[in-house]
Amino acid sequence: MSLFHRSRALWVAVLAIVLAMVVAACGDTKDDTETSASSAPATTADGGAAANADGEYRRGLKAIVMPKQLGNPYEELEDSGTVEAFEELGGEASIEGPTDAGASSQVPILQSAIQKQPDAIILAANDPNAVAPVLKQAIARDIRVVTQDSDAAPDARQIFINQATTEGIGESLARMASQVTGGRGEIAVLSATANATNQNAWIRVLRERLETPEYSGLRLVKVAYGDDDDQKSFQETQGLLSAYPNLRAIVAPTTVGIAAAARYLSTSPKKGRVQVTGLGTPDQMRKFVKDGTSEVFALWNPKDVGYLGGYAAAALASGIITGAEGERFEAGRLGEREILANGEIVLGPPTEFTRENIDDFRF
Site for another protein in 50-109 (CB under 8 A): 69-73, 76, 94-100, 102-104, 107-109
SS3 280: coil
Pick between residue 190 and residue 345 the one whose CB is nearest to another protein: 190
Rounded Cα–Cα distance for residues 254 and 226 (Å): 9
Min dist CB 25 to another protein, Å, is 4
Stretch that binds another protein, among 45-53, 212-220, 224-232, 295-303 (CB under 8 A): 224-232
Rounded Cα–Cα distance for residues 132 and 139 (Å): 11
Min dist CB 139 to another protein, Å, is 15
When binding is defined by CB under 8 A, the residue of 194, 211, 273, 324 that contacts another protein is 194
Query: Is residue 330 involved in binding another protein (CB under 8 A)?
Result: no
Pick between residue 130 and residue 298 the one whose CB is nearest to another protein: 130
Interaction with another protein in 19-48: which residues (CB under 8 A)? 21, 24-26, 28-29, 31-32
3-state SS, 28-71, equals HHHHHHHHHHHHHHHHHHHHHHHHCCCCCCCCCCEEEEECCCCC
Query: Is residue 293 involved in binding another protein (CB under 8 A)?
Result: no
Q: 146-165 mask for another protein (x: CB under 8 A)?
A: -------x------------
Rounded Cα–Cα distance for residues 351 and 335 (Å): 18
Rounded Cα–Cα distance for residues 239 and 143 (Å): 47
When binding is defined by CB under 8 A, the residue of 38, 212, 246, 267 that contacts another protein is 267
When binding is defined by CB under 8 A, the residue of 58, 175, 207, 222 that contacts another protein is 222
Rounded Cα–Cα distance for residues 225 and 194 (Å): 6
Min dist CB 315 to another protein, Å, is 24
Pick between residue 50 and residue 153 the one whose CB is nearest to another protein: 153
Give how far the C-alpha of residue 212 lies from the chain's centroid of Cα atoms, to the nearest Å: 30
Q: Which of 64, 331, 37, 300 is nearest to 172 (CA)?
A: 300
When binding is defined by CB under 8 A, the residue of 41, 133, 182, 292 that contacts another protein is 133
Pick between residue 188 and residue 249 the one whose CB is nearest to another protein: 188
Pick between residue 104 and residue 216 the one whose CB is nearest to another protein: 104
Pick between residue 107 and residue 174 the one whose CB is nearest to another protein: 107
Pick between residue 115 and residue 354 the one whose CB is nearest to another protein: 115
Pick between residue 19 and residue 24 the one whose CB is nearest to another protein: 24
88-121 per-residue burial string, b: 16 or more CB within 10 A, e: under 16: ebebebebbbbeebeeebbbebbeebbeeebbbb
Min dist CB 322 to another protein, Å, is 25
Q: Which of 144, 185, 150 is nearest to 61 (CA)?
A: 144
Pick between residue 37 and residue 336 the one whose CB is nearest to another protein: 37
Query: Is residue 239 involved in binding another protein (CB under 8 A)?
Result: yes
Query: Is residue 271 involved in binding another protein (CB under 8 A)?
Result: no
Interaction with another protein in 197-216: which residues (CB under 8 A)? 200
Rounded Cα–Cα distance for residues 304 and 314 (Å): 15
Length in residues, the chain: 363
Q: Which of 290, 293, 221 is nearest to 264 (CA)?
A: 293
When binding is defined by CB under 8 A, the residue of 166, 179, 268, 351 that contacts another protein is 268
Rounded Cα–Cα distance for residues 267 and 260 (Å): 11
When binding is defined by CB under 8 A, the residue of 160, 202, 215, 288 that contacts another protein is 288
Q: Which of 312, 337, 316, 317 is nearest to 326 (CA)?
A: 337
**Beta sheet of 218-225, edge-to-edge order:** 218-225, 185-191, 247-252, 275-278
Query: Is residue 341 involved in binding another protein (CB under 8 A)?
Result: no
